[in-house]
Chains A and B, each alone.
Chain A
Amino acid sequence: MPQVFPKYANVLTWAVILGVITTVSLLGVGAMVFARSPYATLKETAYTQPIQFSHAHHVNGLGIDCRYCHTSVEDASYANIPPTKTCMNCHSQIWVGSKMLEPVRESYRTGKSLEWSRIHRLSDFVYFDHSIHVTKGIGCASCHGRVDEMQAVYQHGTLLMEWCLDCHRAPEKNLRPRDQVFNMAFKPSDLKQSNGQPHTQATLGAELRQKYDIRSLLECSTCHR
């Protein structure tokens, strides 16, 4: 019987099948990897701000507490950006003529708000509440990283849902005593266990989880409503 297919068709068939499988898997894997890449998640990407405000200087250098500016973090779902007046509280007396601070003074003078570039942005269908996390013992640094060492703020985590779930499934990975929440430099080994040994995050977390009765909230309506 005449051969319909040429000899190379044997190889071609396998090549195509394997090729399609490989391509589709690579595309799939590639999409997943891409979605987690800093390009897509904007992790560790700094932005230009109207004024190059340095947390490192103000927090580490001057010792200002997070809550001096981000006032509503313990009460409300948003930890707000401070109004111009907060800057002027000090800068009406310090560095009064500085060229770098001219936008602040202009904003205060003219009544036109400063437009900061937003670093941490969750999707609109995600309802995150700062106050409950802060009250329950999650440090600022756990999610935002060492902001006190950042000259320009960048995103420390990926802010993907899997990143949130990582902690929600095992809160002990990030718990700290409530009075240490705003202490950026906190290390679990700063505290001692009851047996005299310094704490590790595992031991500290387990102890606090018990004491604070932390549930691991995995209901969808916790964040999506």
Chain B
Amino acid sequence: MSSIKTEDKPALDLEAVMKRLENADGRQYWRSLEELSAGEGFQEMLQREFPRQAGEWTDPVSRRRFLTLMGASLALAGLSGCRPPGGKIVPNIKDPDGVTPGKPLFFATSMPMAGYGMGVLAESNQGRPTKIEGNKEHPASLGATDVFAQASVLGLYDPDREAGLTYLGKPKSWEDLCASLKADLARLPKGKGFYLLTETITSPTLLNLLENEFLKDYPEVQWYQHEPAVSDNSIAGLSKALGVPVQPVYQLKTADVVLSLDADFLSRGPGHLRYAKDFSSRRDLEKLDSFNRLYVVESVLSSTGAKADNRLPVRAADIERFAHLIAFFLKVEGVSEPKGFSAAERLWAEYAAEDIAARAKGTTLVIAGDEQPASLHSLVAAINDKLGNNGKTVLYIDPVHARPGDRAKSLRGLVDEIAAGKVQVLFVLGANPVFTGGSDVGFQGALEKVPLRYRMGLYHDETSKLSHWHIPDSHYLESWGDTRSYDGTASVVQPLVAPLYGGRSFVELLVNLGANPNRDAASLVKDFWKAWFEAPAQASLKSSTTFEKFYRKSLHDGLVDGSRFSPKQVKLVADAVAESVKAVASASESKPAGKDNLEITYRPDEAVFDGRYANNGWLLEMPKPLTKITWDNAAIMSFKTALELGINLNTEKRPELEDGVYRSGASSFGYTGGEHGRAYVDTIKLTVNGRDLVLPVWVVPGHPDYSINVQLGYGRERAGRVGTKDVGADVYKIRTSQNPWSALGLKVERTGKQHILACTQGHHYMEGRHLVRSGSVEETKKDAEWVHKLNSVPEQHEEGDHDHGHDHKHDHKHEHGKHKLSLLPEAISPKYAYKQHKWGMLINLTACNGCSACVVACQAENNIPVVGKVEVTRGREMHWIRIDRYFEGNPLKPTELKAHYQPVPCQQCENAPCEQVCPVAATVHSYDGLNDMVYNRCVGTRYCSNNCPYKVRRFNFLQYTDYASVSMKMVNNPEVTVRTRGVMEKCTYCVQRIRAAEIEAEKRGKLKAERENRALDRQKDCQIQDGEVVTACQAVCPADAIVFGDLSDKNSKVAKLQQKVENLNYSILAELNTSPRTTYLAEIRNPNPKLTSSGGKGHA
């Protein structure tokens, strides 16, 4: 970590800030605390689009050398002809069936994520998987994917997976491996002393092999599990409450009110995609009467909390006590009113409970966060039962993964066995316990005591380094297998490509140790499902079809029909609440929250999860939804906590760094205007349970006071070339397996040093422009036109100017009022009659939950390069769509905090400012309304980006695209040009998909006209059906927030929606006369009217 020495600056003036806030009128949208401080440095920052030192060359390469290099390449770029040499064409010997070069194929498969399957369609271009799409048929996602699925295709081609099968560093063959394992099992009687450590397993085939073959052959083999980032408290709590171990499946479609107790159900968990889709379907802007309501009580500001209608930040240690408060108001038997909450918190609980109690039975839902203790889960089961939700909004199914139990305890158990000398051979499958084991477990030391260690994994990581045998595992895109999803639905995992790095699957290894060796994974999976098909439970299936047909259908659809777990009939056991009462009683004896009694919460990271994706550039560079930090983790705390701890929030100019990388004090955060994202932040030393770690501080408004959140998965030592050096700090060092999710007794000390965080947060301050328009259901019912009334620009408007009553329509006959502030004169607005397609996009801010799947999907589809931390600090991240995140409210009153998301791709302006200024006509307008970007014409003046008011254009300042790594070439989408340095790029509405659909439609139409022996009627014959063209961002969105289509097609979803909720439809910066084709639907929430904050004084 680079360190800077600085003298102590005075802390932010609290009094001044509070005073300003109290005098403020209307809604205060603000991004960062710097804005709020409105100090000198900040104002200066706003004046400049690029920071003061923009011209200065802060790279180690000197200016002279730069010119030399540029000069040389200029000389060589001359008359070498416009034609590349022909090269070779190398056809196959025999063409594979069904593969047409130039046409991608989609295969249904399933991505295992912490064991649970996510149904996906993998796009294969001539045998190379290049993109993951969602599988619309799959109940766990209904066509959505998350960032991990999108980035998984990059993980497939990761050159750091290269390590082959080795023993003590020497290459060995598969036969050698099997022989060695067989020999080990032979010398150990019945396998006694052979220990197996795996991650979560849901695969029915693998389970069958393990339970019915391997463990039957070797009954003394012990099987342990390790899953560092997933909690088992839910199953533990529910089994106590309901008598049997069960897992919940939530039916959010039928829930009118949802109360989340620290549950981030919209962005984490095996069912989160389905929950996001269902939740979003209940927030239909056309049906304001059936809007649901979400109450969230949480210890870390999450995307679920950002979408909440009413949100309360509460420390993790107090959540269970708060749940008692709710339960008390709901009159749950056995619960008494807990003390220690403020009047505001008590009122919140009372009104929320009142709202819930007033609803009909079975229409509400209370969800407990996975990381909360088991006793809370029992309590919540009791609450749901009382509210009649059991069997309606919450269903209970048998646990989906194998051998459910306390996995943290499992790992400790294994270490104890090692210490006792019982472990002769240890086989680690997946997992990375040396990195993720937890500081109290001491797995590294224990592992070194085991005489023989096998490790099967994707990377030669920390655990492989200490193992004798390293066996390359196969990625899910290159192996046969199966998975189960959140509701038990099974999907077959089918490979799209032969293993790239010699990986084999574990099932194949297992069968080679048994009596019936040399079966390949494909036949193992098929045989398992054949046996399942023939079982009496599937008699009805058997009668209607044959197994071959059924299996093919399962492979085609991406799920096995009939494999879903049926909900169980369970009843509450008598003492469901008692544990929770006991837990709360003992907790209330502890010290009250304060500077001296801080809490630490540990959460899996939104980008690298538990650390397994630490080498994935797409994920590392994805700005995290709420903090917008990339390439790092941080200690997140609230404003008040930071002030009390003496953290320096003042962002005046920083002196030079010692290590000389960033020279001349170029930019502190306060100075970086425009597109830079370099934040100089204090670092603190966190000490908990006798272990310490230094982390940079990040203040997030709305975070509960006296609680610090840290993210797992960074600071890896052997992740690969991308994720190893200087990428965050290893939080596992201060995490214990006894308190894996939160701990009290945290001590914090300022180190006096600083760290640079690459964060994309500081740009695009709203400055009084109404970019995000947020209102409530009530307001909309009272005044349907409130969104359009916000169209005028405050402050800059002169008196008497005509206030633009309604938004710019896409109907060019409409006469615009004259604005003083306009980028372009009226005359240029094209009176172009769009004869055919008129592509448009609608982004629904009510639905968007900031998950950033669209950001990574766009990166995968359009070959967007990764630029690295240093370039992100210069504001040069290349994402074509970014998600802006705004906060609203008073940072010192966390209960009133709201967070808003706004995805911003290129707006495809009809009256585009960028097109006017390009000197070489590299960006022009197409006949169907797209703003075309022609990479080969671009000479890199960057005038277009200069003129773009939305700043959605990304320039390749350096050679970001990796031309060198062979495997990286395979991940590129062949339909999109791979850009080199010096060209501008931006969102194209996935023009490659539009053109492909157009070509198909034209061919279809032409052939039809010919068959019918008549002239072609383009309108009738060459129609593109709505839904035929789906942009990458639209396809993956779990909340269906992006709607794209042909505006000239009256029946398209986008045209209909624009018309039906026209009152909520607006475009951003419309006053600049750009007529963007991408418009937004205002964000509507449904807060409890009794809990609406007093700060809401109507609209600005």
- A interface list, Cβ under 8 A from B: 31, 34-35, 39-42, 47, 71-72, 75-78, 80-85, 107-108, 111-121, 123-125, 127, 129, 131-132, 135-136, 159-160, 178, 210-213, 219-222, 224-225
Contact = CB atoms under 8 A, between A and B. Distances in A.
Contact of B93 (A83, A121, A127, A221): A83
Contact of A123 (B91, B928, B936): B936
Contacts of B977: 124-125, 224-225
Contacts of A34: 79
26 contacts: A35-B81, A40-B82, A41-B83, A76-B103, A85-B94, A108-B93, A113-B90, A116-B89, A116-B90, A118-B87, A121-B85, A121-B87, A123-B936, A124-B978, A127-B995, A132-B1002, A135-B1006, A135-B1007, A212-B1016, A213-B1017, A213-B1018, A219-B927, A219-B928, A220-B932, A220-B937, A224-B935
A40 B94 contact: no
Contact of B932 (A81, A119, A121, A221): A221
A115 B90 contact: yes
A225 B102 contact: no
Given A113-B91, A135-B1003, A222 B83 contact: no
Contacts, number: 147
A225 B992 contact: yes
B100 interface: yes
Contacts of B930: 221
Interface string B61-98: 00000000000000000010111111111111111000
B86 A42 contact: yes
A81 B1018 CA distance: 33
B998 to A, nearest CB: 9
B88 A131 contact: no
A132 B1004 CA distance: 10
A212 B1009 CA distance: 9
A113 B1003 CA distance: 33
Interface in B921-938: 924, 926-928, 930, 932, 934-937
Contacts of B81: 35, 39-41
A64 to B, nearest CB: 17
Contact of A132 (B103, B992, B1003): B1003
A71 B103 CA distance: 13
B92 A83 contact: yes
B91 A221 contact: no
A81 B999 contact: no
Interface majority SS (helix, strand, loop, mixed), chain A = loop
Contacts of A41: 81-83
Nearest to B99: A72
A178 B91 contact: no
Nearest to B835: A215
A84 B1009 CA distance: 37
The list of the 4 closest CB pairs from A to B, nearest first, reads: A76-B102, A118-B86, A77-B102, A219-B926
Given A84-B91, A85-B94, A131-B999, A125 B936 contact: yes
A71 B1006 CA distance: 20
Nearest to A108: B93
Given A35-B79, A135-B1002, 15 more contacts: A35-B81, A39-B81, A76-B101, A85-B93, A107-B93, A115-B88, A116-B89, A121-B86, A124-B977, A132-B1003, A160-B82, A178-B1010, A212-B1016, A224-B935, A225-B995
B969 to A, nearest CB: 12
A34 B78 CA distance: 12
Given A78-B102, A124-B977, A225-B992, A40 B83 contact: yes
B168 interface: no
Contact of B91 (A39, A83, A225): A83
Contacts of A118: 86-89
Interface of B: 79, 81-95, 100-103, 924, 926-928, 930, 932, 934-937, 975-978, 988, 991-992, 995, 999, 1002-1003, 1006-1007, 1009-1010, 1015-1018
Contacts of B101: 72, 76, 78, 80
Contacts of A77: 102
A125 B935 contact: yes
Nearest to B1007: A135
A111 B999 contact: no
B94 A84 contact: yes
B591 to A, nearest CB: 62
Q: Is the interface of B mostly helix, strand, loop or mixed?
A: loop
A113 B92 CA distance: 6
Given A42-B86, A135-B1002, A219-B926, A75 B978 contact: no
B87 to A, nearest CB: 5
A49 B86 CA distance: 12
B976 A225 contact: yes
Nearest to A126: B936
Nearest to A107: B93
A114 B90 CA distance: 6
B1016 A213 contact: yes
A224 B936 CA distance: 8
Contacts of B86: 42, 47, 117-121
Given A35-B82, A84-B94, A225-B992, A75 B89 contact: no
Contacts of B82: 35, 40-41, 123, 160
B91 A224 contact: no
Contacts of A212: 1006, 1009, 1015-1016
Contact of A116 (B88, B978, B1002): B88
Contacts of A124: 84, 977-978
A129 B991 CA distance: 14
B90 A129 contact: no
A126 to B, nearest CB: 8
Contacts of A210: 1015
A47 B85 CA distance: 12
B833 to A, nearest CB: 15
Nearest to B92: A83
Contact of A75 (B79, B103, B926, B1002): B103
Given A113-B93, A224-B932, A224-B977, A121 B84 contact: yes
B940 to A, nearest CB: 15
A136 B1016 CA distance: 11
A72 B1015 contact: no
B648 to A, nearest CB: 48
Contacts of B932: 219-221, 224
Contacts of A35: 79, 81-82
Given A84-B94, A125-B936, A211-B1016, A72 B83 contact: no
A217 B85 CA distance: 28
A84 to B, nearest CB: 5
A131 to B, nearest CB: 6
A49 to B, nearest CB: 10
Contacts of A76: 100-103
A26 B928 CA distance: 41
B598 to A, nearest CB: 53
Most buried by B among A120, A124, A136, A213: A213
Given A125-B936, A213-B1017, A222 B995 contact: yes
A83 B88 contact: no
A119 B1006 CA distance: 30
A83 B92 CA distance: 5
Nearest to A155: B86
A221 B92 contact: no
A225 to B, nearest CB: 5
B76 to A, nearest CB: 16
B95 to A, nearest CB: 5
A127 B1017 CA distance: 26
Contacts of A160: 82
A127 B932 CA distance: 14
B1003 A121 contact: no
A31 B90 contact: no
B748 to A, nearest CB: 52
A120 B1010 CA distance: 30
A152 B353 CA distance: 84
A148 to B, nearest CB: 20
A75 B104 CA distance: 12
